Structure 1
Amino acid sequence: MTVIGAIFRPQLPPERLRSVVTAAEEAGLAELWLWEDCFLESGIATAAAALAWTERLRIAIGVLPVPLRNVALTAMEVATLHRLFPGRVTVGVGHGVQQWMAQVGAGAESPLTLLREHLDALRALLRGQEVTTEGRYVRLDAVALGWPPHTPPAVVCAATGPRTLRLSGAAADGTVLHAGTPLDQVRQARRLIDEGRAEAGRTDRHPLIAYVQSGNGDPETVAGIARDRARAGADHVVLEPAGDEPDPEGFVRMAAEVGTLVGKD
């Protein structure tokens, strides 16, 4: 079954989040995605607030930029969310926008190496393991979480290029595709992810999450777009509003209606 979600864009002020989250919860939306774009809003802080304001709605962060974050801190924050709100959180990581990373002095000469090291360490820490590693970018000395999640959570990864897609298949638990990804590239992404999974010997489930720019489309039209993404291999279709969307509460209600239509298939 295809999961339909929606995005709360951080171009909206943080104080607008509560009314959007409430509208999403009341409308029956499956999941609301939050972004940690520089230099707008924190993914962790907004996720914690959204989870506290709701009882059912799943909250996802798509994604935390790894150059900006020490992996131990990310693990502590993610583990805390999962202990407080078990089963309702999805957290993703990614390269981040390289220009933004350079602005804060966090640019990496090899973003792919950094992402792999971060994913490996983050997933190990969230499994409750003690981690010692001396990588090119990630260095930990006998680090273990005091309060790891009761169940190791999935960590998804944003990916675009072939190497990152293969890496995501090998080292992450799901992959996020940006909204500009055409249908043929959604299919190609699934193939590349599966290549990485096969090389790593992984047989666990790996959901593909596709953002879709839905604009002002009516629910029936948007549901058709979501079905196309699902046929191309997407397990989650996450509707992205325009940057100047005047009615974000109405947008999440529309997304919930799309979810009902797609769920009837």
Structure 2
Amino acid sequence: MTTLACALLPSFSPQQYLTLARAADDAGLAEIVLWEDCFKESALAAAGAILGRTQRLRVQLGVLPVPLRNVALTAMEIATLEGMFPGRLVPGVGHGVQSWMAQVGAKPASPLTLLREYLTALRALLAGERLTVSGRYVSLDDVALDWPPVTPPPVISAAAGPKTLRLVGELADGVALDGGNGYTRLKAALETVRAAYDDAGRTDAFLTSVTVPTAIGPGAEERVRAWLPTWPLPADEPADYAVWGDTPEQIAEGLRRFAGLGADTLVVQPLDDEPDPERLIRVLGTEVAPLLR
């Protein structure tokens, strides 16, 4: 069964985050997703506040840029939240936007090497292992968590290029694909990830999170067509890149196409000009999600 989630955009204020998260929890939406764009909200800080103010909502971190954080610190933060709110955190990591990483003096010469070392160490630390490693970017000397999770959460990773997609299929517990891909590129990306997963001889669980820009209500199609030029996307096939409609049934029908790619989680991404994100979240939880079950 596909889980329906909604992204809380970093253009929303920290005050809005709590209001929208509580709305999602009240509406029965299973999951929200927190971005971590520079230099806006911290996803982990927001996750802690949201988990503490909601009852059953899961929080996906999509995603933490690994050049910004020592892997031991990330493991400590994830383990702390997992210990307090078991099973309600889905951590995600990724390369980060390289221009932003350069702004803070953290741009790696080899993002792929960093992500490989980071994923390997992070998953091992969360599994309770004691590590001594000396990599190009990750160095740990006899490091283990005092309070590792009883059940380690799945660590998903963002990916776009073919090398990163293959790395994620080989090492991560899942993949997060963003809303700028479009149906055709999403299909190809998932095929690359699955091939790498198979080549690695893996049989463990693997999560697929797919983000779909979505607009609902009067003028939704016009808003989508105005949004498309803000991305380097072909504008002649908007239905390949977004879902829109006047009714929950139309939204559910559009999302089913993307779910058919094999997505475990469909993340609705509000457009930047979404006039009423709280209403959107309530419609998703109370009306659209039941239609997808």
Identify whether the pair has TM-score above 0.5, normalized to the shorter chain.
yes
Separation in structure 2 between the aligned mates of residue 129 and residue 23 of structure 1, nearest angstrom: 38
Alpha-carbon shift at residue 110 of structure 1 (Å) = 0.6
Match of 2:79 in 1: 79
Kindly indicate whether residue 156 of structure 2 is the aligned counterpart of residue 126 of structure 1: no
Q: Which runs of 4+ in 1 moved over 6 A?
A: none
Residue 142 of structure 1 aligns to which amino acid in structure 2? D
Aligned CA RMSD, in angstroms, stands at 1.0
Identical-residue share of aligned pairs (%): 52
Report the Cα distance in structure 2 between the residues aligned to 1:135 and 1:225, rounded to whole angstroms: 45
Question: Alpha-carbon deviation of 1:193?
Answer: 1.0
SS of structure 2 residue aligned to 1:166 = helix
Equivalent position amino acid for 1:62 in 2: G
How many correspondences in the alignment? 263
Matching residue of 2:254: 225
Structure 1 unaligned regions, length at least 5: none
What is the CA distance between 1:186 and its match in structure 2? 2.0
Task: Give the aligned residue type for 1:242.
Answer: L
Residue 247 (str. 1) matches residue 272 (str. 2): no
**Whole-Å separation in 2 of the counterparts to 1:232 and 1:151:** 28
3-state DSSP of counterpart to 1:40: coil
Counterpart of 1:219, as a letter, is P
Report if aligned partners of 1:184, 1:232 keep a CA contact under 8 Å in 2.
no
Instruction: Give the whole-Å Cα distance in 2 for the aligned partners of 1:248 and 1:96.
Output: 26
Moved more, 184-193 or 29-38: 184-193
Where in structure 2 are the equivalents of 1:110-149 lying within 5 Å?
A: 110-149=110-149
**Aligned AA (1:146):** D
Q: Distance in 2 between matches of 1:201 and 1:132?
A: 26
Q: Within 5 Å, which residues of 2 pair with 1:21-32? A: 21-32=21-32
Higher mean alpha-carbon deviation, 122-131 vs 195-204, is at: 195-204
**Structure 2 match to 1:159:** 159
Q: Which amino acid letter does the alignment assign opposite residue 26 of structure 1?
A: D
Displacement of 1:254: 2.1
Partner AA of 1:81 in structure 2: L
2:288 and 2:110 map into 1 onto residues whose CA distance is: 40
Residues 18-97 of structure 1: pairs in structure 2 closer than 5 A: 18-97=18-97
Contact 1:64 1:92 in 2 (8 A): yes
Q: Aligned partner of 1:260: which letter? A: P
Residue aligning to 1:258: 288
Please say which structure displays the higher CA radius of gyration. Answer: 2
Answer yes or no: is the 8 Å Cα contact 1:18–1:50 preserved in 2: yes
Matched residue type, 1:229: F
Provide the rounded CA distance (Å) in 1 between the counterparts of 2:250 and 2:65. 33
- 1:225 shift after superposition: 2.0
Distance 2:254 2:131 in 1: 43
SS class of match (2:91): strand
1:111-167: CA deviation from partner (whole Å, max 9, x where unpaired): 011001000000000000001111111111111001000012100000111111111
In the alignment, the residues of structure 2 paired with residue 201 and residue 152 of structure 1 have an alpha-carbon distance, to the nearest angstrom, of: 21
